[in-house]
């Protein structure tokens, strides 16, 4: 299980990378993609859509399950990774680089305060708080 120190994490297994100027990139954690297995379908919002904390902004599907992706913060979608829509397996192979799902403009920089550090996320996963 790969957990990168420079990222923040949500309880719903979404990672957040600060890009500057209230812009963030979001993706699915390595832990989540490994638990799900080979991804076969990804549904994402449109550019300009609003995302809200704890509300679904998309879904992912593998052979066994379809699961919602829950936003860990509030903002507006700036960009959607069309590559993962066309080839969801990118997330399995590169969850933290090529497998990002959306870029968003935060409503407030305080949004990041509710997220876990890498150490906290690792403890969360290892304690089985899923």
Q: CATH number for the domain including 45?
A: 2.40.50.100
Confirm whether 119 is domain-assigned. Answer: no
How do the pLDDT tens digits run along the chain, 130 residues long? 899 999 999 999 999 999 988 999 999 999 999 999 999 999 999 999 999 999 999 999 998 889 999 999 999 999 999 999 999 999 999 999 999 999 999 988 788 888 999 999 999 998 875 5
User: Nearest CA to 36 among 74, 73, 62?
Assistant: 62
Enclosing domain of residue 83: 8-109
Residue 114 domain-assigned?
Answer: no
Kindly report whether the global pTM for this prediction surpasses the value 0.85: yes
- Confirm whether 105 is domain-assigned: yes
Burial label for 83, CB within 10 Å (0-12, 13-18, 19+), is: middle
Q: Is residue 2 in a domain? A: no
Residue 72 lies in a domain: yes
Residue 127 lies in a domain: no
With beta carbons less than 8 A apart as the criterion, state whether 43 and 102 touch. no
Number of independent structural domains in the chain: 1
């Amino acid at each position: 299980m790969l957990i990168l120190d420079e990222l923040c994490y949500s309880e719903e297994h979404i990672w957040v990378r600060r890009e500057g100027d209230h812009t963030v990139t979001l993706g699915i954690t390595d832990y989540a993609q490994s638990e799900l297995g080979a991804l076969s379908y990804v549904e994402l919002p449109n550019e300009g859509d609003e995302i809200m904390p704890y509300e679904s902004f998309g879904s992912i599907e593998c052979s066994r399950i379809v699961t919602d992706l829950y936003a860990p913060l509030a903002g507006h979608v700036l960009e959607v990774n069309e590559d993962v829509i066309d080839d969801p397996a990118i997330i399995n192979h590169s969850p933290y680089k090529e497998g990002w799902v959306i870029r968003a403009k935060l409503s407030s920089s305080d949004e990041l305060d509710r997220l876990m550090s890498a150490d906290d996320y690792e403890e969360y996963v290892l304690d089985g708080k899923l």
